[in-house]
A = this chain, B = another copy of it.
Amino acid sequence: MNTEEVATKLVEFCRNREWMKAIDELYAKDIVSVEPRAMENMPAEMRGIDQVRGKAEWWEKNMEVHNAKVSGPFVARDNFVVQFDVDVTDKGSKKRMQMSEVGIYTVKDGKVSREEFLPLAQKKE
């Protein structure tokens, strides 16, 4: 698959909330996944498909998703960008949050080899 085909499939899976299927079908075994910052027990940078599956499992276990909007993909050469706007409740803290972020994805040999997430900057008044 070329970059646009991988991108279109990933968006499709995400719209159906089939995160694990996206990883299984589209991610390289040696995927590098970079979050904006480390979270509880998880470093900012993860390597390998097992760690990324672990992150998706953590997300599914800990977040109740009320709404998720997936925009894109924006595609050029080996890269694509997808925007995520989610409305979730952290099951542990019961805190409800609206979060926007983009993922920048790199495709190599027909698989996602790198993903990096960038949150929407907070407006300062």
Mark A residues whose CB is within 8 Å of B. Answer: 4, 7-8, 34, 36, 72-77, 79-81, 83, 100-102, 104, 116-121, 124
Contact = CB atoms under 8 A, between A and B. Distances in A.
A117 to B, nearest CB: 7
A40 to B, nearest CB: 18
Contacts of A116: 76, 79
Contact residues of A: prevailing secondary structure: strand
Contacts of A117: 76
Q: How many copies does the complex hold?
A: 2
Given A74-B102, A100-B74, A121 B7 contact: yes
A28 to B, nearest CB: 20
A36 B76 contact: yes
A118 B80 contact: yes
Contact of A121 (B36, B74, B100): B74
